């Protein structure tokens, strides 16, 4: 077991997608039965099985002294208002930003659960003190309640910085209707695109939902906390306007940002670190028509070859992009299928296309060329496209 007193913790355009008629034999990529193994006594990783389900959390009385890092978020959530405890005695907290945290620290968006040893790439639990990570499945086995909201059809709501762009493109609307407060909004939201169900930023915060990455910080790099409308006005530290509406503030340095300044910042938050161009740059939601007029260039979706999109996920450096639909599809696939097993039991992980891969990969399921990235098993040299990864189960 781990020591409880350690604190480890854009430039030419090209067509990107083509299909081929030549067929090749499919590779068996069905999973093998799961084999649970035990670790050695020296291992620092917990093995998750029936016995440890009952031992994974400890009582309130079993505490551990140690230095704790600041993990507070814009909702004001801290370790003090969570109820689930690690073997080291400290609390598990729900981290919607854990994929970005893991990528920034380890250059990898594939996270290894310290309990069941499976890989995943979505929000999860982490011990506030020792840093052990628990995936959602293991947390559910311990009756832990994640901060997740669902649409009326029980689909998980995901952070969407492009909600206004989506409704503008699909229905020529300048806003969407929040399903909670019933007001028209033009900001980022938590959304189910399939059902067109959206929770606005402030209604999401009331339900303790947190964006996957926080750009709201003060000059001293401290995280700003959400503050509701009050009777006392304040001066926005960015635009200098005086307002008493919803804001974000840092109490220690008297730094505040109004809604007009915070909205554009939040709308630039990348959905997932795996959404990259072929030079590994992040993609952001941008109005393609505006950029097209300034640059005089045409933009084509690297996945579906769409050239008539109004908005898209764009790398302004490399002139590469995805349409909103393809970008959202990739993000969802990476979140849902990272770590899926090939036929020999190896993990398959999402890899964006590289600049030197001019011929692309060949999907072993549909036998088409892939230019936007794929799920790969390096041991078996298998590649599966985003459209077919759901068939690997």
Structure tokens at 74: 């814009």
Which residue, among 327, 328, 330, 320, has the nearest Cα to 288 in the 3D structure? 320
What's the residue count for the chain?
393
Q: Please report the pLDDT score of residue 25 as a whole number.
A: 34
CA distance 374 to 93: 32
pLDDT at position 393 is 60
Predicted confidence at residue 249, as pLDDT, reads: 78
Give every residue of the chain whose pLDDT is below 50, as ranges.
Answer: 1-81
Write out 350-382 in H/E/C secondary structure: EECCCCCCCCCEECCCCCCEECCCEEEECCCCE
- Provide the pLDDT for residue 138: 93
Q: What pLDDT shows up at residue 296?
A: 78
DSSP string, 88-153: TSSEEEEETTHHHHHHHHHS---EEPTTT--EE-S-EEEETTT--EE-HHHHHHTT---S--B-TT
Cα 388 to chain centroid, rounded: 21
pLDDT at 209: 86
- The whole-number pLDDT of residue 350 equals 94
Beta bridge partners of 195: none
What is the spatial distance between Cα 84 and Cα 56, in angstroms, rounded to a whole number?
10
At 83 the pLDDT is: 63
| pLDDT per residue as tens digits for the range 82-119 | 567 888 888 999 998 899 999 999 999 999 999 999 99
Q: State how far the Cα of 208 lies from the Cα of 281, in Å rounded to an integer.
A: 30
Judged on CB neighbours under 10 Å (0-12, 13-18, 19+), 8 is: exposed
Residue 342 is encoded by which pair of tokens? 């090939």
pLDDT at 112: 95
| Of 35, 28, 106, 101, the residue nearest 70 (C-alpha) | 101
Are 17 and 303 contacting, i.e. CB atoms less than 8 angstroms apart? Answer: yes
């Amino acid at each position: 077991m781990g020591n409880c007193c350690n604190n480890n913790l854009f430039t030419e355009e090209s067509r990107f997608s083509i299909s081929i008629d030549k067929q090749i034999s499919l590779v068996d990529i069905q999973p093998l039965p799961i084999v649970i193994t035990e670790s050695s006594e020296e291992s620092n990783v917990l093995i998750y099985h029936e016995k440890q389900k009952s031992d994974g959390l400890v009582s309130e009385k079993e505490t551990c002294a140690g230095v704790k890092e600041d993990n507070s978020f814009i909702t004001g959530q801290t370790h003090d208002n969570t109820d689930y405890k690690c073997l080291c005695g400290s609390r598990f907290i729900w981290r919607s930003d854990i994929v970005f945290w893991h990528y920034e620290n380890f250059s990898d968006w594939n996270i290894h659960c310290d309990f069941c040893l499976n890989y995943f790439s979505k929000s999860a639990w982490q011990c506030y003190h020792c840093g052990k990570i628990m995936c959602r499945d293991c947390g559910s086995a311990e009756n832990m309640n994640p901060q997740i909201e669902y649409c009326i059809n029980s689909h998980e709501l995901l952070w969407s910085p492009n909600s206004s762009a989506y409704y503008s493109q699909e229905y020529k609307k300048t806003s969407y209707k929040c399903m909670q407060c019933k007001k028209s909004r033009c900001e980022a939201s938590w959304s189910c695109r399939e059902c067109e169900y959206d929770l606005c930023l402030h209604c999401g915060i009331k339900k303790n939902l947190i964006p996957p990455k926080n750009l709201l910080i003060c000059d001293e790099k401290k995280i700003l906390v959400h503050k509701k409308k009050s009777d006392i006005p304040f001066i926005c530290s960015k635009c200098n306007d005086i307002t008493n509406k919803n804001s974000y503030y840092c109490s220690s340095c008297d730094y505040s940002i109004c809604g007009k300044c915070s909205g554009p910042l939040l709308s630039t938050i990348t959905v997932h670190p795996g959404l990259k161009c072929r030079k590994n740059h992040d993609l952001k939601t941008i109005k393609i028509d505006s950029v097209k007029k300034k640059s005089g260039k045409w933009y084509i979706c690297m996945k579906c070859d769409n050239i008539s999109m109004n908005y898209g996920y764009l790398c302004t450096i490399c002139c590469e992009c995805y349409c909103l639909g393809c970008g959202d599809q990739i993000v969802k696939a990476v979140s849902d299928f990272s770590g899926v097993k090939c036929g020999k039991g190896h993990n398959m992980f999402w890899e964006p296309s590289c600049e030197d891969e001019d011929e692309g990969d060949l999907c072993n399921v549909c036998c088409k060329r892939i230019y936007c990235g794929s799920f790969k098993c390096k041991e078996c040299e298998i590649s599966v496209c985003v459209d077919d990864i759901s068939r690997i189960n």
